[in-house]
């Protein structure tokens, strides 16, 4: 397809506000693309390479300005281009404002590296095609090492020098990843379905497994529905990660019979693609086809991060005996294997140099929570429960092994009981993780989707200031700390209530509303113990009564009616936020506020 045809249609789409019309224009473009269909399906989205391919052009804006300036004439330089950009605000507009094509004598490149050839360098070099643009941009992406920046400018210049105004507009936007003509992934999906008469849900599935709009368009055209349905995941081609929405335990339990609950690891997302050395029967490969294991690791944006994470490669090589695509998190750990904060994993994650040295300083380990492909079988449309079973089988050679002992496996619990989920949350925090994830056990894996099937439990927005009226001495290494703090709120009219907090001599009546034990580090526990110990008025075994003196700010997920506490209410998932040193108990929150929060919306 001539690049001018593409650019003219792109301009029409750019000016079109109606979504349906845009789909129709993209359909027409795909139908007319001929041999260049794959390229056109990518270009129209502003992509040069397939979505799974992390190759980048690696062109800074300045390189592009220089190429534009050179094609625009001897009296234009990159600064002029930049000035026009400041004026016009958009690179396409700037590129379209120059008159290109008069620089035959200056450049010896057509963009395909045929320097010194037939002198085909100017606008007289014939019509530019989308294929020529794609191939030149691939050469440009491959340019590496000394002199590569000059080579990139040369190649780009060769292209701009053959551009009309409308071509220059869309070439510059393509090169700088600023296409922005309103064509999203859904538009291309619908256009492929309309152009080649295939159902859009099947196009969608093919897109999910291949992550390649160009290829899906070609298969839809050349092999129809059958071809699309035959497209599968491929080891070495990352798919988009399934994402989570913010949610609550109570919300999840309303929507699902029971919730899948996992620890939320505080690391970086990884997708592991592993192919063991081939043996007869593995993935249908003939013996000896692949003598060494192949392991690739991709980040959430499908960047290849394999070289930065040798521990993960070693883990895969030692553990996996079947071809697999696994979804998980890589976490930084200390010498005892305890998780370190997220910032630490970042020091390792995209590192390109001195990996061995960085590894000596910070270790990482993978934890996998999902399985997209196992031993030749794609699992995207299987329920979470089955995918997790397959994951466990892949990671554990011994099926009788307790899942908790399986290295690299994220445990998945199922529960419809908020108390049980609360204790998983407490354990997760205690073990140094971020909290919990809630997952619909029946849900399929939807690449790139931020649906309701995965929910990340977010810290609470609403907080209450509660008086600390009791506590318990801890156990084991925490025996010298007070923990599990009893919380109370003020009640202005205690005579009507059923009882009162254990504390007496309070400035006001206090009613218990819950206990908080989670979200508190050892360091903070030591500080809190020092703060509260002088206020102990009675002790009974591990339990202590405290005179009302200290106010905690506490987050929670929900307020519930409950017979357990004297206020008649309980906080679900209470979390310690901090000490309100600026408040004394007489200024703590009241039962009336609790009732308003419970019944009258959050105020
Ligand atoms: N058990 C788990 N299941 C799924 N994701 C997990 C799990 N543990 C940790 N995660 C991480 O949690 C991320 C989602 O939550 P979070 O909000 O913290 O991520 P984010 O990148 O900050 O935000 P967002 O995904 O909303 O852009 C996942 O992408 C994954 O990296």
pLDDT tens-place string over residues 145-174: 889 999 999 999 999 999 999 999 999 999
Residue 566: band (very low, low, confident or very high) from pLDDT cuts 50, 70, 90 = very high
**Which pLDDT belongs to residue 460?**
62
What's the token pair of residue 40? 């056109």
| Residue written as token pair 């081939």 | 278
88 is in an annotated binding site: no
Which of 255 and 425 is assigned the larger pLDDT?
255
What separation in Å is there between the alpha carbon of 434 and the centre of ligand 1? 10
Give the confidence band of 109 by pLDDT, cuts at 50, 70, 90: very low
Counting ligand 1 atoms within 8 A of each CB, the residue from 247, 259, 261, 265 with the most, and so the one to mutate, is 265
Please give the pLDDT value at position 457: 85
**What whole-number distance in Å separates Cα of residue 576 and Cα of residue 429?**
12
Q: What is the pLDDT averaged over residues 304-332?
A: 96
Q: What percent of the chain has pLDDT over 70?
A: 90
Name the pairing type of β-strands 243-247 and 450-457.
Answer: parallel
CA–CA distance from 548 to each of 4, 169, 474, 534 (Å)? Answer: 78, 70, 20, 11
* Catalytic sites, residue numbers: 264
In short, whether 262's Cβ falls inside 6 Å of ligand 1 is yes
Q: Is there a binding annotation on residue 269?
A: yes
Mutating to test ligand 1, I would choose from 264, 299, 328, 384 the residue with most ligand atoms within 8 A of its C-beta, which is 264
> Does the beta carbon of 426 lie inside 6 Å of ligand 1?
no
Q: 410 CB under 6 A from ligand 1?
A: yes
Dist. CA 238 → ligand 1 center (Å):
17
Is 100 marked as a binding-site residue?
Answer: no
What's the mean pLDDT when you consider all of the chain?
89
Strands (E) located in 531-574: 536-540, 543-546, 551-555, 558-561, 569-572
**Residue 106: exposure state from Cβ atoms within 10 A (0-12, 13-18, ≥19):** middle
pLDDT at position 119 over 90: no
Query: Would you say the CB of residue 244 lies under 6 angstroms from ligand 1?
Result: yes
Residue 116: left (phi > 0), alpha (psi -120 to 50), or beta?
Answer: left
What is the number of alpha carbons within 13 Å of residue 182 lying toward its C-beta?
18
Q: Is 456 annotated as a binding residue?
A: yes
SS3 content of the chain, % helix, strand, coil (to 5): 40, 20, 40
**What was the pLDDT predicted at 254?**
94
Nearest Cα neighbor of 231 from 380, 125, 121, 66 is 380
Average the pLDDT over each of 39-53, 124-138, 281-295, 576-590 and give the range with the smallest value.
281-295
What are 385's two structure tokens?
A: 């429960």
- What percent of the chain lies above the pLDDT cut of 90? 72
Q: Any bridge partners for residue 332, and if so which?
A: 364
Q: Which of ligand 1's atoms lies nearest the C-alpha of 454? A: 4
Residue-wise pLDDT for 384-407, tens only, equals: 999 999 999 999 988 888 888 899
Of the pLDDT bands very low, low, confident and very high (cuts 50, 70, 90), residue 31 is: very high
Is the distance from the beta carbon of residue 409 to the nearest atom of ligand 1 less than 6 Å? no
Question: Does 116 score more than 80 pLDDT?
Answer: no
| Among the listed residues 499, 506, 423, the one whose alpha carbon sits nearest the alpha carbon of residue 468 | 506
Instruction: Give the residue-averaged pLDDT of 44-62.
Output: 93
> 47-175: which CATH number, 3.60.10.10, 3.40.50.410, 1.20.120.420, 1.10.3260.10?
1.10.3260.10
Residues 278, 286: contact at Cβ < 8 Å? Answer: yes
Q: Pairing mode, if any, of strands 543-546 and 463-473?
A: antiparallel
The pLDDT of residue 121 is above 70: no
Q: Please state, in angstroms and rounded to a whole number, the distance separating the CA atoms of residues 189 and 207.
A: 8
Q: Which CATH superfamily is domain 463-599 in?
A: Nucleic acid-binding proteins (2.40.50.140)
- Does the annotation flag 575 for ligand binding? no
Reading the block at residue 381, the tokens are: 């449309």
* Predicted local confidence at residue 405, as pLDDT: 87
pLDDT at 114 over 80: no
- For the stretch 581-593, pLDDT in tens is 999 999 999 999 9
Q: How much is the pLDDT for 102?
A: 63
**Mean predicted confidence (pLDDT) in 526-550:** 95
> First and final CA of the chain: distance in angstroms?
61
Mean pLDDT confidence for 435-453: 94
Domain 243-457 in this protein, CATH class:
alpha beta
Over range 99-104, report the average pLDDT. Answer: 72
| Residue 347 annotated in ligand binding | no
Average pLDDT over residues 328-346: 92
Distance CA 386, CA 443 (A): 10
| Count of C-beta atoms within a 10 Å radius of residue 560 | 17
Determine which residue's CA is closest to atom 30 belonging to ligand 1.
269
271: left (phi over 0), alpha (psi -120 to 50) or beta: beta
CB 323 within 8 A of CB 274: yes
CB 583 near ligand 1, within 6 Å = no
What confidence category does residue 461 fall into, taking pLDDT thresholds of 50, 70 and 90? low
Any ligand 1 atom below 6 A from CB of 391: no
What was the pLDDT predicted at 475? 87
Alpha carbons 572 and 532: distance in angstroms, whole number: 24
Cβ atoms of 284 and 451 within 8 Å: the answer is no
pLDDT band at 117 (very low <50, low <70, confident <90, very high): very low
User: d(Cα 373, Cα 495) in Å, to the nearest integer?
Assistant: 64
Res 340 pLDDT > 50: yes
Is 90 exceeded by the pLDDT of residue 330?
yes
349 C-beta closer than 6 A to ligand 1: no
Domain ranges of the chain: 47-175, 243-457, 463-599
pLDDT band at 430 (very low <50, low <70, confident <90, very high): confident
Closest CA to 457 of 439, 482, 475: 439
For a pocket test of ligand 1, which of 238, 268, 269 has the largest count of ligand atoms closer than 8 A to its C-beta? 269
Question: CB of 472 within 8 A of CB of 543?
Answer: yes
Q: What is the structure's pLDDT at 600? A: 66
Q: 244 C-alpha to center of ligand 1: Å?
A: 7
Give the total residue count for the chain: 603
- The whole-model pTM stands at 0.78
């Amino acid at each position: 397809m001539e690049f001018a045809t593409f650019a003219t249609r792109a301009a029409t789409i750019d000016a079109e506000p109606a979504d349906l019309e845009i789909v129709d224009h993209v359909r027409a473009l795909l139908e007319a693309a001929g041999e260049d269909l794959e390229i056109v399906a990518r270009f129209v989205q502003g992509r040069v390479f397939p979505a799974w391919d992390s190759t980048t052009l690696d062109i800074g804006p300045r390189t592009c300005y220089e190429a534009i300036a050179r094609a625009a004439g001897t009296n234009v330089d990159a600064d002029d281009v930049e000035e026009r950009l400041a004026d016009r605000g958009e690179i396409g507009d700037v590129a379209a404002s120059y008159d290109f094509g008069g620089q035959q004598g200056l450049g010896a490149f057509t963009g395909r590296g045929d320097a010194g050839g037939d002198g085909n360098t100017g606008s007289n070099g014939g019509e530019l095609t989308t294929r020529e643009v794609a191939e030149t941009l691939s050469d440009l992406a491959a340019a590496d090492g000394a002199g590569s920046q000059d080579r990139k400018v040369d190649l780009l210049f060769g292209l701009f020098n053959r551009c009309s105004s409308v071509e220059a507009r869309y070439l510059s936007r393509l090169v700088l990843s600023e296409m922005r003509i309103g064509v999203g992934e859904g538009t291309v999906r619908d256009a492929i379905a309309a152009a080649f008469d295939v159902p859009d849900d099947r196009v969608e599935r093919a897109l999910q497994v291949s992550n390649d709009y160009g290829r899906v368009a070609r298969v839809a055209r050349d092999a129809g529905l059958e071809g699309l349905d035959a497209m599968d995941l491929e080891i070495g081609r990352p798919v988009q990660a399934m994402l989570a929405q913010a949610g609550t335990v109570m919300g999840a339990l309303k929507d699902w019979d029971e919730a899948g609950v996992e620890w939320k690891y505080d690391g970086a997302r990884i997708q592991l693609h592993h192919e063991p050395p081939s043996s007869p029967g593995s993935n249908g490969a003939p013996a000896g086809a692949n003598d060494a294991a192949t392991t690739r690791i991709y980040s959430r944006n499908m960047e290849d991060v394999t070289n930065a994470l040798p521990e993960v490669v070693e883990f895969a090589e030692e553990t996996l005996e079947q071809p697999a695509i696994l979804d998980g998190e890589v976490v930084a750990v200390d010498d005892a294997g305890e998780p370190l904060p997220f910032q630490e994993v970042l020091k390792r994650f995209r590192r390109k140099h001195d990996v061995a040295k960085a590894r000596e300083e910070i270790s990482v380990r993978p934890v996998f929570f999902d399985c997209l492909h196992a031993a030749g079988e794609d699992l995207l449309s299987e329920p979470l429960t089955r995918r997790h079973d397959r994951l466990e089988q892949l990671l554990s050679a011994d099926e009788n092994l307790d899942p908790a002992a399986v290295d690299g496996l994220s445990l998945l619990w199922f529960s419809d009981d908020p108390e049980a989920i609360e204790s998983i949350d407490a354990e997760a925090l205690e073990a140094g993780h971020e909290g919990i994830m809630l997952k619909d056990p029946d849900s399929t894996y939807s690449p790139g989707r931020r649906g309701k099937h995965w929910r990340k439990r977010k810290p609470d927005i609403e907080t209450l200031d509660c008086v600390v009226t009791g506590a318990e001495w801890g156990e084991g290494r925490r025996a010298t700390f007070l923990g599990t703090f009893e919380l109370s709120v003020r009640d202005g009219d205690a005579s009507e209530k059923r009882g009162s907090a254990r504390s007496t001599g309070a400035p006001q009546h206090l009613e218990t509303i819950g206990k908080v034990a989670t979200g508190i580090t050892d360091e903070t526990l030591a500080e809190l113990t020092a703060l509260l110990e002088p206020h102990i008025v009675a002790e009974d075994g591990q339990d202590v009564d405290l005179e009302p003196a200290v106010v905690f700010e506490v987050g929670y997920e929900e307020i519930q009616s409950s017979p357990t506490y004297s206020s008649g209410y309980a906080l679900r998932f209470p979390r310690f936020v901090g000490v309100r040193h600026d408040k004394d108990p007489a200024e703590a929150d009241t039962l009336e506020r609790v009732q308003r929060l419970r019944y009258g919306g959050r105020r």
